[in-house]
Structure 1
Amino acid sequence: MEKIELNKVIHKELMIVDSNAKTKEAIIQELGDLLYKNGFVSNAKTFIDDVYLREEEGETGIGQGVAIPHGKSAAVEKTTVAIAILKQDIEWETLDGEGVKVVIMFAVKDSDANTTHVLLLQQVAILLANDQFINAIKKVTSVDELCNLVLAFQ
């Protein structure tokens, strides 16, 4: 199984540190707009609608304060990941019933759905299985620090 180089899908301009979003809807919108503004999705609404379709299939709050919403969508121009660290925990359907502070949103191009998407999820899952990484990501104070952290752990 080939390994996706995270630096090809991790982009500093798709990271937010200290987001003021107070709800799941607000942060999904904020990240969807960010993806659109940076040209990774052609239509924010279409992409966000697809994220909600996936949300209906099951919880994307994986516990330890982390959620991984994802949209496989025709609106996605280039498969990527947008990351937000929230100022305060927000409510989310999670496996452990805790609030969410870190949101890692996958934007997956339809044609990549069964290949890149799976590899990307595996790479991020490996990061999220690492307690050191989880503890560190919740404490980042800048986008540079967040970017360096994600790339350092791959």
Structure 2
Amino acid sequence: MMLDKVVVSDILSRSCVVTDLVAGNKVEVIEYLSQLLFAENIISDKALFIRDVLAREELGPTGFDNQVAIPHGKSPAVRETRMAVAQLRHPVDWETEDEVAVRLVILFAVRNADSGIGHIKVLASVSVALGDDEIVEQLMQAESREALYRLIVNNTGL
């Protein structure tokens, strides 16, 4: 039976949230977040997962003009659909429509079997929350992992 009701707290753990990350480019950000997922045993093959995320990046921009990027990889390396979040100390170049640098990155790791409706709803609710400038501003200002985690969970309720 597929669980249709998925909430953000089911797919985001505190250990996969980082604030004040220093990274030189988007690949470093993706590698760092992938390592967090790998350490949690969420992805089985980090290199394969990163390759799948970067292949998705080639298809079109995952960055938005409010300094947020939502890279994602649907990959056989993913054991369970989860997300990892990084707030960046310095903006990093990311492809967006207006070439805006990014300061908040939410990486989705999607298990092949989970392209189902529950996970799509979570992705959608996170995307909607990230369209709200006030929420984004709070996420950018969060001063701790716990604060950032709570802001995401509390602002993406379904």
Question: Structure 2-normalised TM-score?
Answer: 0.92
Which residue among 65, 69, 74 is the counterpart of 2:67? 65
Give the letter aligned to residue 70 of structure 1. Answer: H
Distance in structure 1 (CA, Å) of the matches to 2:61 and 2:118: 21
- The aligned residue for residue 43 of structure 2 is 41
- The aligned residue for residue 149 of structure 1 is 151
**Match status 1:30 vs 2:39:** no
Shift of 1:79: 0.3
Q: Is the 8 A contact 1:64 1:96 kept in 2?
A: no
Distance in structure 2 (CA, Å) of the matches to 1:79 and 1:62: 22
Q: Is the 8 A contact 1:18 1:87 kept in 2?
A: yes
Distance in structure 2 (CA, Å) of the matches to 1:70 and 1:42: 16
More deviation, 126-135/109-118:
109-118
Distance in structure 1 (CA, Å) of the matches to 2:104 and 2:97: 14
More deviation, 109-118/23-32:
109-118
Q: Is the 8 A contact 2:6 2:119 kept in 1?
A: no
* Percent of matched pairs sharing the same residue: 34
Distance in structure 2 (CA, Å) of the matches to 1:142 and 1:25: 23
- The aligned residue for residue 132 of structure 1 is 134
Distance in structure 1 (CA, Å) of the matches to 2:90 and 2:44: 30
- The aligned residue for residue 93 of structure 1 is 95
- The aligned residue for residue 75 of structure 1 is 77
Q: Is the 8 A contact 1:74 1:110 kept in 2?
A: yes
- The aligned residue for residue 111 of structure 1 is 113
Which runs of 5 or more residues in structure 2 are unaligned?
none
- The aligned residue for residue 5 of structure 1 is 7
Distance in structure 2 (CA, Å) of the matches to 1:3 and 1:127: 18
Superposed CA offset, 1:32-70 (max 9, x none):
111101111001101000001101110000221100000
**Over the residues paired in the alignment, what is the CA RMSD in angstroms?**
1.2
Question: Structure 1-normalised TM-score?
Answer: 0.94
Which runs of 5 or more residues in structure 1 are unaligned?
none
How many residues in Structure 1 have an aligned counterpart in Structure 2? 153
Superposed CA offset, 1:103-139 (max 9, x none):
0000000000243442222111121121211110000
Distance in structure 2 (CA, Å) of the matches to 1:58 and 1:6: 25
